[in-house]
Amino acid sequence: MPSNADLLKEYHLFCKKKNKKPDPYLENILITRKVRSLSGIVVVSVLTKPYPCPGKCIFCPEEKGMPKSYFSTEPAVMRAIGCNFDPYAQVEKRLQALKNSGHPTDKIELIILGGTWSFLEKKYQTYFITQCFAAANNYQEKSLEKSQKRNEKAKQRIIGITVETRPDFINEKEIIRMRKLGVTRVELGVQSIYDDVLKKNKRGHDREKVIKATCLLKKAGFKICYHLMPNLLGSNVEKDEQMFKEVFNNDNFKPDLLKIYPCALLKEAPLYKLWKEKKYHHYSEKELTDLLIKIKADIPLYCRIQRLVRDIPSRQIISGPTKISNLRQILQKKGAQCSCIRCREVKENYNLKEKLFLFKNEYQASKGKEIFLSFENKSQTKLYSLLRLRLPEEKKHFISTLKKAALIREVHTFGKVNPLEKKSLLSAQHKGLGKKMIKEAERMTAQKGYFKIAVISGVGVRDYYRKLGYRLKDTYMVKSLKP
Ligand code: SF4
Ligand SMILES: [Zn+2]
């Protein structure tokens, strides 16, 4: 049997030679791994070069020639090795592979992996991101600014950039720098919010640093993803359960996204020695699955679980429940319930006739009010579109453009990626849901007495906001309002 990718290649040839009319339904059928573009964007993960990390975390593995905490056997790492960690080649190759299997690559969410981003040399950071833009643009410019400018109107636009870093590396200066590079989302290695656990695992930062980093990042409009690690040395099932409860009940935390990485026992990490000496015990399969079920049941509607376990090949895990490769299926079988964003995204179930409702979910977080707007079906089981609006309480700001401004931290419409400027019957994108929510956010903001609203827009989305009356100021898209 020819593969879908082969058939798609032939189909495109037929269309090119005008032997066949373009057929969006057929194209949709032939896409391999549809899930790759069902969140409305395609994700391109790239890795920075192997570089030391300032951390000494006892659970973190080290493989020679690899970025700290990464294994050469992980899929994203294997792709990076194949490109010698060259950023241009990594992006180019990944986009080509996505295109070959039928995914539109118009909207790219760039995820930069490889340990502590903020610890890399500044020059290398700029080079790395410039090259990623160059690959998306298919054109080499002389500077980062020029590459970004070109990307605003390019065919393949980078609509968001994520980096991963440690909470103790976040400060005002670092945030301003991240903005200049085009970063819109930060993955924070939090692991635990308890000082005793952080200390035992030699994290090198405390709870206060997590609180401060979260507040500064939200103040600047970033989306925040916490990495949390159940089963660390010094914790237990009850304490982990308590931690997740506090993360969503304490206003100092409340992340937008979550990666739950239960601690994996690896020979390459110092924790292995403690396990051999019986000073560390991992949970049983039942303990971990029961814990994850409880955690999932409590996830608020505004949060998205990005991942449940890390992509470490099970043969590298010495012992413990993280060895189970079908953990997700086991949870499903046990009837795990979850109302996180990911579980509600409309994906392929887009129904043109479905009646949608605008929901408003307000909560306090890090010295501000967060308003989570969403278009969903009545029972809130199908999420079509979301917007995160932040009304800050503090009058002062370290970024002058954001002084006294309300902030839109995210606008996202789900469903199959719709090529820019094209309308489709198969997707929720480009049906004006995003625009409607932005209008509503502007209305609410003006009503609360704010004079302006700012969007932390990815470089590739700036043009969209221009059409809605926003102008680029510093690195934000800003619009004046009449209260
Ligand atoms: S900070 Fe992250 S990469 Fe560095 S040692 Fe700790 S877990 Fe590993
Ligand atoms: Zn979920």
Between residues 35 and 128, which one has the greater pLDDT? 128
Q: What's the average model confidence in pLDDT over 392-408?
A: 94
E strand or H helix that includes residue 287:
helix 285-297
Report CA(284)–ligand 1 centroid distance (Å).
25
Can you give the pTM of this predicted structure?
A: 0.91
CA distance 256 to 410: 10
Output phi, psi for 384, to 5 deg. Answer: -100, -35
Between residues 128 and 16, which one has the greater pLDDT? 128
> What DSSP letter does each residue of 222-287 carry, written as one string?
-EEEEEE-SS-TT--HHHHHHHHHHHHHSTT---SEEEE-PPP-BTTSTHHHHHHTTS--PPPHHH
Between residues 453 and 429, which one has the greater pLDDT? 453
- Residues whose CB is less than 8 angstroms from the CB of residue 99 and which lie 6 or more positions away in sequence, other chains included: 105
Say which amino acid occupies 472. Answer: L
Distances (CA, A) of 394 to 176, 216, 398, 402: 18, 12, 11, 11
Flag whether pLDDT at 39 surpasses 70: no
Q: Distance from first CA to last CA of the chain, Å, rounded?
A: 63
Contact 130, 110 (CB under 8 A): no
Contact 39, 343 (CB under 8 A): no
Flag whether pLDDT at 38 surpasses 80: no
CA distance 337 to 127: 43
List the beta bridge partners of residue 455.
Answer: 408, 477
Flag whether pLDDT at 363 surpasses 70: yes
| The pLDDT value given to residue 29 | 76
Question: How would residue 131 be classed by pLDDT, with cut points 50, 70 and 90?
Answer: very high
Nearest to 375 by CA among 464, 440, 422, 419: 440
CATH of domain 346-480: 3.40.630.30
Half-sphere exposure of 293 toward its Cβ, with a 13 Å CA cutoff?
14
| The pLDDT value given to residue 327 | 81
Q: Which of 74-78, 99-103, 212-216, 412-416 has the lowest mean pLDDT?
A: 412-416
Q: Which of 166, 170, 232 to mutate to test the pocket of ligand 1 (most atoms within 8 A of CB)?
A: 166
Q: Which of 47, 48, 53, 186 to mutate to test the pocket of ligand 1 (most atoms within 8 A of CB)?
A: 53
Question: How would residue 37 be classed by pLDDT, with cut points 50, 70 and 90?
Answer: low
Q: What's the average model confidence in pLDDT over 185-212?
A: 97
Flag whether pLDDT at 423 surpasses 70: no
Report CA(238)–ligand 1 centroid distance (Å).
25
- Residues whose CB is less than 8 angstroms from the CB of residue 414 and which lie 6 or more positions away in sequence, other chains included: 38, 39, 40, 345, 346, 347, 383, 384, 385, 428, 429
Flag whether pLDDT at 421 surpasses 60: no
Nearest protein CA to atom 2 of ligand 1, as residue: 115
| The pLDDT value given to residue 422 | 52
Nearest to 297 by CA among 329, 338, 240: 338
| The pLDDT value given to residue 430 | 53
Ligand nearest the Cα of residue 204 is: 1
List the beta bridge partners of residue 38.
Answer: none
Ligand nearest the Cα of residue 306 is: 2
Flag whether pLDDT at 31 surpasses 80: no
Q: What's the average model confidence in pLDDT over 47-57?
A: 92
Q: What's the average model confidence in pLDDT over 215-220?
A: 98
Q: What's the average model confidence in pLDDT over 136-157?
A: 97
Contact 211, 252 (CB under 8 A): yes
Question: How would residue 75 be classed by pLDDT, with cut points 50, 70 and 90?
Answer: confident
E strand or H helix that includes residue 368:
strand 368-376
Flag whether pLDDT at 40 surpasses 70: no
Report CA(135)–ligand 2 centroid distance (Å).
33
| The pLDDT value given to residue 275 | 95
Ligand nearest the Cα of residue 298 is: 2
- Per-residue DSSP letter, 1: -
Contact 188, 253 (CB under 8 A): no
Average pLDDT, the chain: 91
Tell me if residue 255 falls in helix, strand or coil.
coil
| The pLDDT value given to residue 429 | 54
| The pLDDT value given to residue 305 | 95
CATH of domain 4-343: 3.20.20.70
Ligand 1 cavity residues, CB under 6 Å: 53, 55, 57, 60, 68-69, 115-116, 166, 189
Cβ burial of 378 (10 Å; 0-12, 13-18, 19+) is exposed
Strand pairing report for 357-364 and 368-376: antiparallel
E strand or H helix that includes residue 152:
none
Q: What's the average model confidence in pLDDT over 454-469?
A: 96
CA distance 380 to 374: 9
CA distance 452 to 481: 5
Distances (CA, A) of 307 to 59, 130, 283, 318: 18, 28, 19, 21
The residues spanned by each domain of the chain are 4-343, 346-480
pLDDT tens digits along 294-340:
999 999 999 999 998 877 778 888 888 888 777 878 888 888 899 99
Between residues 26 and 14, which one has the greater pLDDT? 14
List the beta bridge partners of residue 224.
Answer: 186
| The pLDDT value given to residue 335 | 85
| The pLDDT value given to residue 221 | 97
Output phi, psi for 2, to 5 deg. Answer: -70, 150
Tell me if residue 272 falls in helix, strand or coil.
helix
Q: Which of 45-49, 66-70, 91-95, 420-424 has the lowest mean pLDDT?
A: 420-424
Nearest protein CA to atom 1 of ligand 1, as residue: 55
* 33-47 burial: b if 16+ Cβ within 10 Å, else e: eeebbbbbbbebbbb
Q: What's the average model confidence in pLDDT over 372-394?
A: 95
Nearest protein CA to atom 3 of ligand 1, as residue: 115
Between residues 182 and 2, which one has the greater pLDDT? 182
| The pLDDT value given to residue 424 | 53
CA distance 58 to 415: 40
Flag whether pLDDT at 397 surpasses 80: yes
Distances (CA, A) of 71 to 61, 75, 87, 110, 226: 8, 9, 18, 20, 21
Contact 281, 394 (CB under 8 A): no
